[in-house]
Structure 1
Amino acid sequence: MKDRAEYIVSYDISSNRIRRKIERILKDAGLRRVQYSVFNGVVAEDRIKFLAERFKKLERILTHSILVYIIKNGAMEVFKF
C-alpha cells in the first residue's frame, strides 16, 4: 500500500482562468473542496507528486500563492508555490 497523508491546500489567486486550472488540478489529485479556496483529502504521495509537478509548470504565471499543508504521523509540513 502506498504511503498516504492528509493534505490541505489553500490558495489566493485573483485570475479566474488560473484559479480554475488550480481547482481542476486539485480535483484530479483526489482532493475535495471544503471552502472557496481550500481543498483537502487523504491521498497517496504519488498523487501529491503529480500535483507538485503541475504547480511547478504554472509557477511562471502565478503571481499569488498556493500553500500545501501535509499532515502525516502527527507532524505538519508546509510548502509554498
Structure 2
Amino acid sequence: MMGPICAAFALTCFTAPAFAETCTVSRYGYGGDRTASGERMNPSAMTAAHRSRPFGSHVTVTSHSTGRSVTVRINDRGCL
C-alpha cells in the first residue's frame, strides 16, 4: 500500500510550450513558518510554491516516473 502523497511542494520550473512546464519538486519538511502569501506552512496541505503563478491558482503535478498526478494550490514563491 502506498503512503499519502506529499502535500507541500516547491516547484522549480523550466518553460515548455502550451502551458506545460517541467519542474523539479521538493517537499517541505517542516511547518509553522509563513509562506509568501502569509499562510502558515503546512506539510499536510495540498499546496505548492511557484516563481510566477498567482497565489490561489491550481496546478497539476505529474510524476514522470509513475504517471500519477495531484492538483495543488499555489501559496508560496519558489527560489532559484
Q: Same fold by TM (over 0.5)?
A: no
TM-score, normalization by structure 1? 0.33
Q: Higher helix fraction: Structure 1 or Structure 2? A: 1
TM-score, normalization by structure 2? 0.33
